[in-house]
Amino acid sequence: MDVYERIQQSVQYIESHLQQDLQITDIASKAFYSAFHFQRLFHSITGFSVHQYIRRRRLTEAAVNLLEDRNSILEIALSYQYGSQEAFTRAFQSMFGLSPAQYRQTSFRDVQCQHAINLLDYKTKSGGDFYMYKPEFVELDPIRIIAREYQTNLNNEKHYEEIPGFYEDFGRKESYLYIPNQAAPGMAYGISAHFQDNGDFTFMVGEEVSCYESELAEEFVRFTIPAGKYAKFKGDGPAGHVADIRNFIYGTWFPNSNYERREGPDFEVTDVMRSRPEHMVITIYIPLV
């Protein structure tokens, strides 16, 4: 079963439970992924976060019910997991541009609905005809890192907005000067780890060291990148190119490859001496089974 088929199973689960409480762990389990990595794959392939998709599908089905059912607006709101008619009305108006009552009463119903997605149809139409960056596959020994930790979130691509600021903060404070035993000066590591089901994760910025000191400067942490097999993707281009590569990896490469991501951190290594704000030289490593 490929990635599209696995995620489609989760989509079908969502569709059959739109009027019930939906937990991301239950949804992800239908595709046999962790909640965090399921959300990453889902967004990269569909362009929606899981929560955005559920909200839009519920509101679309609620709009159908407003026309076809005699139930009150409150009853429809509660059936689609809204706690009050007011919350439902705000969400409905935000999506469709008119209130549920106006929608029910007006003859103008040319609104943008969210139909159920079919990833198998998408796969067929695409024909798998993608431009594929070819990764290199490497076996890595454990890598010792001393870094500063920052908190961010997958939702609404918040991490893409915040991560450049983490690097800037690390450089502005000259944090690298407080890292002893540097093994690869000029190579900045950015590590995504400690993934949470709600999309929260930790992003660490630091450097590789040859050994750990017993004492660390304030705000620094030790982190060891696990040994194992990694897919290594090289990027050389504008700063926004990094986000494009990550979207490619999770939205195109994984669904069209025979590889599985294993649990654990992924990380990027920036060649600081050859990079500048408008042009980055970076390598991204993704852990594989």
Reading the block at residue 65, the tokens are: 């019910």
Nearest 5 degrees, angle CA 205-CA 259-CA 244? 45
Query: Is residue 209 situated within a structural domain?
Result: yes
| 151 and 87 in a common domain | no
| 141 and 282 in a common domain | yes
CA distance 213 to 210: 10
| 226 and 122 in a common domain | no
| 248 and 224 in a common domain | yes
| 184 and 102 in a common domain | no
Query: Is residue 117 situated within a structural domain?
Result: yes
Query: Is residue 282 situated within a structural domain?
Result: yes
| 260 and 189 in a common domain | yes
How many domains does the chain fold into? Answer: 2
| 142 and 278 in a common domain | yes
How confident is the model at residue 276, as a pLDDT?
A: 78
Q: Which domain holds residue 54?
A: 3-126
CA distance 147 to 179: 8
How confident is the model at residue 128, as a pLDDT?
A: 43
> Domain holding 241: CATH number?
3.20.80.10
Query: Is residue 132 situated within a structural domain?
Result: no
CA distances from 46 to 37, 130, 259 (A): 14, 15, 20
Query: Is residue 131 situated within a structural domain?
Result: no
User: Can you spell out the DSSP letters for 205-224?
Assistant: EEEEBSS--SS--TTEEEEE
Burial of 25 (0-12, 13-18, 19+ CB in 10 A): exposed
How confident is the model at residue 244, as a pLDDT?
A: 78
> Domain holding 59: CATH number?
1.10.10.60
How confident is the model at residue 108, as a pLDDT?
A: 59
End-of-domain residue from the set 94, 126, 158: 126
| 154 and 29 in a common domain | no
pLDDT (tens place) for every residue of the chain, 289 residues total: 688 889 999 999 999 999 999 999 999 999 999 999 899 888 888 878 899 999 999 999 999 999 888 899 999 999 999 999 999 999 999 999 889 999 988 765 667 788 888 877 656 554 443 344 578 999 999 999 999 999 999 887 778 889 889 999 999 999 999 999 999 988 999 999 999 988 899 999 999 999 998 888 888 999 999 999 999 998 877 766 777 788 888 887 888 777 889 889 999 999 988 887 778 889 999 999 8
End-of-domain residue from the set 86, 103, 126: 126
| 121 and 190 in a common domain | no
End-of-domain residue from the set 73, 91, 126: 126
CA distances from 250 to 138, 145, 259 (A): 19, 25, 11
| 85 and 55 in a common domain | yes
pTM (2 d.p.): 0.74
| 100 and 47 in a common domain | yes
| 89 and 148 in a common domain | no
